[in-house]
Chains A and B, each alone.
Chain A
Amino acid sequence: MLEELNYLIEPLYETLFLTFVPLILAVILGALIGTIIFISGDNGILDVEEKSFLKTVHVVFDALVNIFRSVPYLILLIWLLPITRFLVGSTIGTNAAVPSLTLSATPFFARMVVIAFTEVDKGTIEASKALGAGTLDIIFKVLIPESLPALISSIAVTAINLVSYSTMAGAIGAGGLGFEAYQYGLIRQDPPRMLMATGIIIVIVFIIQIVGDVLSKYVDKR
Chain B
Amino acid sequence: MIELKNVCKTYHSKDQEIKAVENVSLTIKDHEIFGIVGYSGAGKSTLIRLINGLEKVDAGEIIIDGEDICKLSERNLRQKRQEIAMIFQHFNLLWSRTVLENIAFPLEIAKVHKEERLAKAREMAIQVGLEDKLNVYPSSLSGGQKQRVAIARALVLNPKILLCDEATSALDPKTTEDILDLLKAINRKYHLTIVMITHQMETVQKICHRLAVMKEGKVVESDTVDNIFTSPSHPVTKELIQTVDTGVDVIKLAKELKNKYPDGHLLRVTFDNENSEKPILFEVAKKVDVPINIVSANIKNTQAGALGVMYIHIEERQDIAMLLEELNKNDVVVEVV
The residues of A with any CB-CB pair to B shorter than 8 Å are 44, 47, 121, 123-124, 126-134, 137, 141-142, 145-146, 148, 219, 221-222
Contact = CB atoms under 8 A, between A and B. Distances in A.
Given A123-B90, A219-B96, 8 more contacts: A124-B93, A128-B109, A131-B105, A131-B154, A132-B78, A141-B94, A141-B105, A222-B139
Interface stretch (B58-66, B81-89, B205-213): B81-89
Contacts of B108: 141
B262 to A, nearest CB: 37
Contacts, number: 71
Nearest to B110: A132
Given A131-B153, A132-B110, A123 B88 contact: yes
A179 B126 CA distance: 63
Interface in B67-112: 74, 78-79, 81-82, 84-86, 88, 90, 92-97, 105-106, 108-110
B52 interface: yes
In the complex, the 9 A-B pairs of residues with the closest C-beta atoms, listed nearest first: A127-B92, A123-B92, A130-B86, A221-B137, A145-B96, A132-B81, A131-B106, A132-B82, A47-B74
25 contacts: A44-B54, A121-B92, A123-B88, A123-B90, A123-B92, A124-B94, A128-B94, A129-B81, A130-B52, A130-B85, A130-B86, A131-B81, A131-B106, A131-B157, A132-B78, A132-B106, A134-B78, A142-B94, A145-B96, A146-B94, A146-B95, A221-B95, A221-B137, A221-B139, A222-B139
B94 A129 contact: no
Interface residues of B, number: 30
Contacts of B52: 130
A130 B240 CA distance: 30
B92 A126 contact: yes
A194 B81 CA distance: 64
Nearest to B154: A131
Contact of B54 (A124, A130, A146): A130
B67 to A, nearest CB: 16
Contact of A145 (B54, B94, B109): B94
A113 B110 CA distance: 27
Contacts of B54: 44, 126, 129-130
Contacts of B106: 131-132
B124 to A, nearest CB: 13
Nearest to A221: B137
A124 B149 CA distance: 14
Contact of B96 (A47, A129, A131, A221): A221
Interface in B222-239: none
Contacts of B93: 124, 127
Contacts of B81: 129-132
Contacts of A129: 54, 81
B88 A133 contact: no
B20 to A, nearest CB: 15
Nearest to A137: B109
Interface string B128-153: 00000000010100000000001001
